[in-house]
Structure 1
């Protein structure tokens, strides 16, 4: 992974309180102009609710966007690598779901 990666998919485990794992929430985040406390780029989802500092080794540090936000740690961070032409992106959601099983 490179610090110039334009986007990542963060996978969060969806587990209701007292229940077994049922599914995964996948959120796509894009690079912003900001740098986090560790000096790595900050990525945010389209609504700005989820912000994360992601290192060049794929280490994720979640950043609170409000005073009462409960931060969840992603179980998977996957770079979305642009393909050669037309700016197409390659994302393997099936691989992410398998990784959680």
Structure 2
């Protein structure tokens, strides 16, 4: 099965969200996800981007979603995979891996 390179976008902020006090920061979550996904899907390309919701890039779609995270008071980090929300606040690897496998990613055995 051919696979397209999946884009994972982690939306977060430097300060922790009020209900996420005992969780890692958005940036730490982004780094942890990148390492975990790279280990699980060796030599299978994907892109992962971190977006600060209070300082989003000029990309219209990413800026709109960053505003949505703030407006809807979502628990961040919010993890998007292929445009779908796969994690909020404390993302679960199992959920993210299951979504990646829908795109043809296969765990290295």
Establish whether TM, by shorter chain, passes 0.5. no
Q: Which has the higher contact order (CA 8 A, sep 6+)?
A: 2
Specify which structure has the higher proportion of helix. Answer: 2
Using the size of structure 1 for normalisation, the TM-score is 0.27
Indicate the structure with greater strand content: 1
